[in-house]
Structure 1
Amino acid sequence: MTDDKKPAVNFIRNIINEDLKNGKNGGRVVTRFPPEPNGYLHIGHAKSICFNFSLAQEYPGGKCYLRFDDTNPEKESVEFMESIKRDVAWLGFDWEDRLTHASDYFDRLYELAEGLIQRDKAYVCSLNAEQAREYRGTLKEPGKDSPDRNRPVEESLDLFRRMKAGEFADGTYTLRAKIDMSSGNINMRDPVLYRIRKVHHHRTGDKWNIYPMYDYTHPLSDAFEAVTHSICTLEFQDHRPLYDWIIEQCETEFVPHQYEFSRLNVNYTITSKRKLKYLVDQGLVSGWDDPRMPTISGMRRRGLTPASLRKFSERTGISKKETIIDVGILEEEVRNDLNETAKRAFAVLDPIKVTISNYPEGKEEVIEIPNHPQKPDWGTREILFEKTLYIDRSDFLEDAPPKFFRLSPGKEVRLRYGYVIRCDEVIKDDAGVVRELVCTYDPDTLGGKKPADGRKVKGIIHWLSESGSKPALVRIYDRLFNVENPGVVESVEDALNPESLLTMVDSRIENSLTQVAPGDTFQFERLGYFCADQIEFSAEKPVFNRTVTLKDTWQSKN
């Protein structure tokens, strides 16, 4: 699925176009999205998904692989893999028959590793993790050779096979590439290719006692799948020499190439999977799919649309320059999409009871209103008008300033699509809280008709009748963090916005909204866009989440 818009020009598209022009890669375009299934995907992954799959779609015969980097079974799970597949499909992309796993290639990877040992390009090292760090050197000082660097080939090969057979404990040995311990690129200082991990793998079971490292697995998987353009974020730029070394030394039939672009950084947002996991593990959010989370599942549950995320991903661009994107751009794209795709509805989040004293007891009027004021072909719906109504508490002030054009004692306001009413009496409870308003209505003002005597009524508010509405729980979500760059805050708790969730337990919604499907999104007129919760919504207990406000109010609050 793609949006009907010409793709923006960027350096990677220019490279692909030039490659096609020169007949490189046999005129093929093959990309891949290689997530590690150790958590739920976030907004940064969404951009990578959109870019890699969209690139493949732009070119005739283009293909994109969804490849799971399942080389670290200690931290991975089927749950995470299934969530990733749901996210990619929800964003509108289809991997067809190109769902692969690094574990699909474990046998081939092992054979190539033996080949590296036999050509004296790799050796088995007995340094433990702490010793290996000491020998590695620093950015300013070269490393020094492992005592095992010149281990005889036959001995390394024997040890490697015994590692595979499970003879040694975790951490006893590693297989390292033999490159250059004095390299200015620290990634080239004899990096680890295999480590011992006696861990059950969800796909290969207990077959393997050793697992390959990402920097070894990634380039070879690209070669096996004949990926023409392996696109990574900039943090992998210094790994590219190792990528190329692995491909060259293993003499793969196909030679892929890696390209890097800047990762997506969004203000008021964290995209560290480790920190997001901390939020989940510490119960600071309700889970990976908490609607405040920047995970794709969280954004989906909040009501963001695939189209808005695809447009946001395209709009933020592809370059090598590190920038921080204003989250307001994402919110704008969500509003733009929902303005065109979401039906309208009435809801009263914090209701005050209104009694129309001069309206006949027991009478009900059916008022027909549009599902979308700019889309007449979307049809209409019916709401009820009767003696007992509800309006939102924010639409009433007892001591109103001169320019408050909503309801106040002795003042009039128009009920949207309904009548003009005047507040005659305010009823409070013992604590002084307003509980009811007694009003009168002008029977000649239905549906926008002006008062017969020519008086002007400026304010228009939304409302619901008692029998025409149902109770609902509504969650008002704000940004999870109130620090512009929460990633640099030492303790993630210090960056949390204490007002990121407000739960409205006594809200009222139109009767029809109890029959919608979980995930359906509506504009609650004057209030914002709201989504029927995908997990908790039911006709008996409707739950709605605010997706986004009608306009950006964040800047005015800060």
Structure 2
Amino acid sequence: MSESPKSDFIREIIAADLASGKHPKIITRFPPEPNGYLHLGHARAICLNFGIAEENAASGARCHLRFDDTNPEKEETEYVESIKADVKWLGFEWGENLFFASDYFEFYYECAVHLIKNGLAYVDEQSAEQIKETRGNLTVPGTPSPHRERTVEENLALFSKMRAGGFEEGEAVLRAKIDMASPNIVLRDPVLYRVLKASHHNTGEAWCLYPMYDFAHPLEDAHEHVTHSLCTLEFEIHRPFYDWVIENCPVPAKPRQIEFSRLNFTYTIMSKRKLLTLVKEGHVSGWDDPRMPTLSGARRRGIPAIAIRKLCEKTGITKFQGVTDIAQLEFEIRDHLNTVAPRRMAVLDPLKLVIGNLPAGQSEDIELDNHPKDPAMGTRVVKLSREVWIEADDFMEVPEKKFYRLGPGRHVRLRGGYIVKCTGFEKDASGKITQVNCEYLPGTIGADAPEGVECRAAIHWVSAEHGVEAEVRLYDRLFTVEDPDAAEGGFVTVINPDSLKSIEAWVEPALLDVEPEWNCQFERLGYFVADRVDQQPGVKAVFNRTVGLRDSWAKK
């Protein structure tokens, strides 16, 4: 990570507030709703809020992790736990600063009563459809509710009845009394409370009316003495209502809302509703499917958290609503893993190579570097036996121009081992090549090719006798187009049919014993990770492709 001070318009505002003494210390918050898993789009907000707290830790800054759990119909404990795990995985800690909006339900209720007493809120018994119809549009002002001029006493009694369960769902709401002709439709008497007779994951059956997000959010910030409430741009139009709530409710602090652009990617969707559709309709295996843009999916795919953080740092904080090429994230992944991932050999499309002059039952110890540029990673020993697996595309019966690997009469080096010469091959009844025969050249381990022998390539291999079978999952982009949301037939019509290929492969025996989430580079193939769910050390090897060695989509 870069050590140079970060700079953007939000950090400039915060620096000015500290310098002027407006705030002795900075308090930010990351406030996810526990109605789904976090995705890559949330990463910028996480890095921004927790990053600012880290940068100003000397003056006592902190960042709260707060769950905005005001909608019991969509929220689950599963999502709460997944969000906590994802934030920690990304590299941030909240310490004692873990909060739930539902812990403040009584405070919101008191604020609502305060608004009613001051003639700024009323109980409306119109249906949701009627309220929507009378809100107006950008050119037509809204029509006041027939219940808008109820007395304070009537509204207090009706609101108390709402709390006591005297209304069914949809029969009554509490609305703010602001301006039905406002050019900002958000200010046309927005709903503050609705009746929901649903059990809440945190408060159980204690409440049957729940605050709307736009009402609860500023009150949560104020209750926690948040100084800077950092939101993505879609909340900009809601800021006047945020400020109205702060100004008209008995709050202990006055936070400031500032908006920034969210992180969007090509070949990706970020809508929780659409991600839930992918899960429920079985297009993916779950929220943590490695093809999903969720943080848990990224983790299972083997994407390093630092790669996501670096991308957030490089793309910066702006007001410009842009789209980041997913190739930029893939570059950061490769850039990091190229440095830290040890090398191993695996064969994904096995073709048997028989070394005729190596006796059956005999093997050679081959010492290989674990990393070509980092001696500190040490070496390992692999067994070279008479029969080895090579990639099928490393042999051609009739070699094309610029193909330097195996072909009849050709030489190639087995990675770290002997140079071998192809002496023939075998086919099955269908004409498929099933075996390549060769002989090794003595004295060529660690030595140049003998005079007169042309050897211009080295290929990876795995001993057929000592290697182990592994399930390897070749993941690719989930969608075939840059903007799946704009697909004419809907995003599900552009799902990539080749986004997952599960194959049986051969790998070095030591890969059976690695722990889940262990990253490595399969030489010449790409970066892979031991699956965090299905890898069973000593029993079953399951590897997911994180990313290829090169961008295979560039030409597409």
**TM-score interval, smaller chain:** over 0.9
Aligned to 1:24, what secondary structure does the other structure show? coil
Matched, 1:42 2:42: no
Q: CA deviation at 1:396?
A: 1.3
Matched, 1:410 2:412: no
For 2:467 and 2:547, the matched residues in 1 are separated by 23
Match of 1:465, as an amino acid?
Answer: S
For 2:111 and 2:492, the matched residues in 1 are separated by 46
1:133-532 alignment to 2 at 5 Å? Answer: 133-447=132-446, 449-489=447-487, 490-505=489-504, 507-532=505-530
1:535-554 alignment to 2 at 5 Å? Answer: 535-538=533-536, 539-554=538-553
Q: Indicate the RMSD between aligned Cα atoms, in angstroms.
A: 1.0
The one-character-per-residue Cα deviations of 1:215-270 (angstroms, maximum 9, x if unpaired) are: 01000100011111100000000000000000000032210000000111110010
Matched, 1:52 2:46: no
Q: Choose 102-111 or 45-54, whichever is displaced more.
A: 45-54
State the partner residue of 1:18. Answer: 16
Q: Choose 163-172 or 405-414, whichever is displaced more.
A: 405-414
1:72-151 alignment to 2 at 5 Å? Answer: 72-151=71-150
Q: CA deviation at 1:156?
A: 0.6
State the partner residue of 1:6. Answer: 4
Q: CA deviation at 1:4?
A: 4.6
The one-character-per-residue Cα deviations of 1:272-295 (angstroms, maximum 9, x if unpaired) are: 110000000000001101000000
Match of 1:453, as an amino acid?
Answer: E
State the partner residue of 1:31. Answer: 28
Match of 2:49, as an amino acid?
Answer: N
Check conservation: 2:111, 2:250, Cα contact below 8 A. no
For 1:524 and 1:47, the matched residues in 2 are separated by 31
Aligned to 1:338, what secondary structure does the other structure show? helix
Match of 1:41, as an amino acid?
Answer: L
Check conservation: 1:352, 1:436, Cα contact below 8 A. yes
Aligned to 1:518, what secondary structure does the other structure show? coil
Match of 1:268, as an amino acid?
Answer: Y
For 1:451 and 1:215, the matched residues in 2 are separated by 73
Q: Under a length normalisation based on structure 1, what TM-score does the superposition of the two structures give?
A: 0.98
Aligned to 2:15, what secondary structure does the other structure show? helix
Check conservation: 1:444, 1:452, Cα contact below 8 A. no
For 2:157 and 2:126, the matched residues in 1 are separated by 17
Q: CA deviation at 1:412?
A: 1.0
For 2:55 and 2:340, the matched residues in 1 are separated by 25
For 1:488 and 1:151, the matched residues in 2 are separated by 46
For 1:7 and 1:199, the matched residues in 2 are separated by 47
Aligned to 1:297, what secondary structure does the other structure show? helix
Q: Choose 39-48 or 426-435, whichever is displaced more.
A: 426-435
For 1:205 and 1:451, the matched residues in 2 are separated by 75
For 1:15 and 1:428, the matched residues in 2 are separated by 72
Q: CA deviation at 1:455?
A: 2.6
Aligned to 2:134, what secondary structure does the other structure show? helix
Q: CA deviation at 1:454?
A: 4.3
Q: CA deviation at 1:397?
A: 1.4
Match of 1:511, as an amino acid?
Answer: P
For 1:69 and 1:551, the matched residues in 2 are separated by 41
For 1:542 and 1:246, the matched residues in 2 are separated by 56
Match of 2:27, as an amino acid?
Answer: V
Q: CA deviation at 1:24?
A: 1.1
Any gaps of 5 or more consecutive residues in structure 1?
A: none
Check conservation: 1:126, 1:148, Cα contact below 8 A. yes
Match of 2:29, as an amino acid?
Answer: R
The one-character-per-residue Cα deviations of 1:105-145 (angstroms, maximum 9, x if unpaired) are: 00111011101001001000011110001110011211010
Runs of 4 or more, structure 1, over 3 Å off, are none
Q: CA deviation at 1:7?
A: 4.0
Match of 1:339, as an amino acid?
Answer: N
Match of 2:52, as an amino acid?
Answer: L
Check conservation: 1:444, 1:451, Cα contact below 8 A. no
Match of 1:20, as an amino acid?
Answer: L
For 2:211 and 2:256, the matched residues in 1 are separated by 20
Q: Choose 452-461 or 347-356, whichever is displaced more.
A: 452-461
Check conservation: 1:234, 1:263, Cα contact below 8 A. yes
For 1:160 and 1:511, the matched residues in 2 are separated by 69
Q: Choose 58-67 or 427-436, whichever is displaced more.
A: 427-436
Check conservation: 1:473, 1:543, Cα contact below 8 A. yes
Check conservation: 2:411, 2:453, Cα contact below 8 A. no
Q: CA deviation at 1:6?
A: 2.0
Q: CA deviation at 1:305?
A: 0.8
Check conservation: 2:347, 2:507, Cα contact below 8 A. yes
For 1:540 and 1:400, the matched residues in 2 are separated by 40
Q: CA deviation at 1:402?
A: 2.2
Aligned to 2:382, what secondary structure does the other structure show? strand
Number of aligned residues: 552
For 2:509 and 2:69, the matched residues in 1 are separated by 48
The one-character-per-residue Cα deviations of 1:163-194 (angstroms, maximum 9, x if unpaired) are: 00001100100000000000000000000000
Aligned to 1:80, what secondary structure does the other structure show? helix
Q: Under a length normalisation based on structure 2, what TM-score does the superposition of the two structures give?
A: 0.98
Match of 1:29, as an amino acid?
Answer: I
For 1:118 and 1:472, the matched residues in 2 are separated by 69
The one-character-per-residue Cα deviations of 1:436-465 (angstroms, maximum 9, x if unpaired) are: 111111012112x11232433111111111
Check conservation: 2:397, 2:408, Cα contact below 8 A. yes
Check conservation: 1:124, 1:156, Cα contact below 8 A. yes
Q: Choose 530-539 or 393-402, whichever is displaced more.
A: 393-402
For 2:440 and 2:296, the matched residues in 1 are separated by 47
The percent identity for this pair of structures is 52
For 1:361 and 1:122, the matched residues in 2 are separated by 88
Q: CA deviation at 1:517?
A: 0.3
Aligned to 1:31, what secondary structure does the other structure show? strand
The one-character-per-residue Cα deviations of 1:467-490 (angstroms, maximum 9, x if unpaired) are: 231001101111000110112224
The one-character-per-residue Cα deviations of 1:478-509 (angstroms, maximum 9, x if unpaired) are: 1000110112224222121111111112x101
Aligned to 1:555, what secondary structure does the other structure show? coil
Check conservation: 2:121, 2:175, Cα contact below 8 A. yes
Aligned to 1:149, what secondary structure does the other structure show? coil
For 1:7 and 1:235, the matched residues in 2 are separated by 28
Match of 2:33, as an amino acid?
Answer: E
For 1:62 and 1:305, the matched residues in 2 are separated by 27
Aligned to 1:352, what secondary structure does the other structure show? strand
